[in-house]
Amino acid sequence: MGTTAFIARETMVSAVINGAISAAFFLGLFGLRDAVPVTGWGGYAVDFVPQSAPVALMACLVPALLARRAVRTGRIASPELPGVAALFRMALICAALSALLGGGVAMIWIGSGIAALAPLPAFVVKIVYGALIGALVTRRVLQRLLRPTPLAKD
C-alpha cells in the first residue's frame, strides 16, 4: 500500500470512528428527547472542550502508532518514525491544541445568544464536528510523519 492510500484510509477510518464516538457521547449526555441547553456547565457549548481533546488525542496517537508499525513491517515506505514516547508527546500537544479550539467553538456558541437547540440538529453538528476533528488531525499528523524528511527522533 502506498503512503497516500494509507493516509486516505486512516483519515476515513478516523472520521467514522470519531463521529460515532461523538454520537454515543451526545446520546449519553443529552439524548434526543428534550431541547439541548447551549449555555451552562453541562451545556452544549462547554461540551466542545472535552469532546475536542480526546478526539484529537486518539486521532493523533492511534494512526501514528499504526503508521509506525506499517513502516517497521515494510507495508509502507517512509523514513524511520519517532519513538513511542515522542508520539505520545505529539498526541498530548494535539489534544491541548484541540481543547483550545473546542474552547473557541464554545465561546462562539455562548456568544450566539441561542438558549437551546433542537436535539437532532445539535446531534448532527456534534457528529460532524467530531468526524472533522478526527479526520483533520489524522491527515495532518500522518502527512507530517510520513513525509520524506522525518521529524526529530526520540
At 82-124, the pLDDT tens digits run 888 999 999 999 999 999 999 999 999 999 999 999 999 999 9
- Main-chain dihedrals φ then ψ at residue 82, nearest 5 degrees: -60, 160
Show the domain range for 23: 3-145
Q: Is the pTM of this model over 0.85?
A: yes
Helices (H), strands (E): how many in the chain?
4, 2
Residue 8 has pLDDT above 90, yes or no: yes
Q: What is the CB neighbour count within 10 angstroms for residue 104?
A: 13
Cell matching residue 68: 509506525
Residue 151 counted as domain residue: no
Residues paired with residue 36 on neighbouring β-strands, in sequence order = 117
Give the max Cα distance, the chain: 53
Residue 64 counted as domain residue: yes
- What pLDDT is recorded for position 78? 78
Residue 31 counted as domain residue: yes
Residue 83 counted as domain residue: yes
How many domains would you assign to the chain?
Answer: 1
Residue 152 counted as domain residue: no
Residue found under cell 492510500: 5
% of the chain at pLDDT higher than 70:
95
Strand spans (E) along 12-147: 36-37, 116-117
Residue 80: band (very low, low, confident or very high) from pLDDT cuts 50, 70, 90: confident
Residue 72 counted as domain residue: yes
Residue 153 counted as domain residue: no
Rounded alpha-carbon distances, angstroms, from residue 127 to 52, 53, 118:
12, 15, 15
